[in-house]
Amino acid sequence: MKTIKILILAISIFVACSFYAGESAAADWIAVAATHWKDGGGTAHSAIGYSGVRHSEEEARATALDACNSSGGVGCKMLGAWDSGCIYITSGGSSDKAGYGAGASAAEALSNCRGEGLVCKQPVGGCIE
């Protein structure tokens, strides 16, 4: 639950900064999706998806969801799509839980993930200028 609150805070800050930067004339978009769940045996898992740069918001969202689902995600959900700024996301786990962290940089995403006591993977993500 704490991971989700941190993720929502990070995304909210990112969106607020993007809003105050003004409208972007860029036609390119990036998006992220994620999930965490426990299997029938009680083992915790997490999965993430990053779209890469796409030419529409819809394409970015669909690609991020597909990437999350393709990595084995169960119940992947969109975390957001952006036409300016940066977003990075990582997933991780420990002996009894799994989760993810996001941020405006790879270091911030890792810090948010590790702050939950997880061993985290290399973040994926990028920027739209």
The DSSP-derived string for 67-78 is HHHHTT-SS-EE
d(CA 30, CA 112): 20
| pLDDT at 29 exceeding the cut of 70 | yes
In this prediction, residue 27 carries a pLDDT of 87
d(CA 94, CA 66): 25
The tokens of 115 are what?
């702050």
pLDDT-derived band at 19 (thresholds 50, 70, 90) equals very low
Model confidence pLDDT, tens digit, residues 53-89 = 999 999 999 999 999 999 999 999 999 999 999 999 9
In this prediction, residue 52 carries a pLDDT of 97
In this prediction, residue 129 carries a pLDDT of 84
Q: Which range of residues forms the domain containing residue 104?
A: 2-21+28-128
| pLDDT at 92 exceeding the cut of 60 | yes
The tokens of 30 are what?
């990036």
d(CA 102, CA 46): 13
- As a whole number, mean pLDDT of residues 37-65 equals 96
**Domain total in the chain:** 1
Q: Which of 72, 70, 63, 11 is nearest to 36 (CA)?
A: 72
Phi-psi label, residue 53: left if phi above 0, alpha if psi -120 to 50, beta otherwise: beta
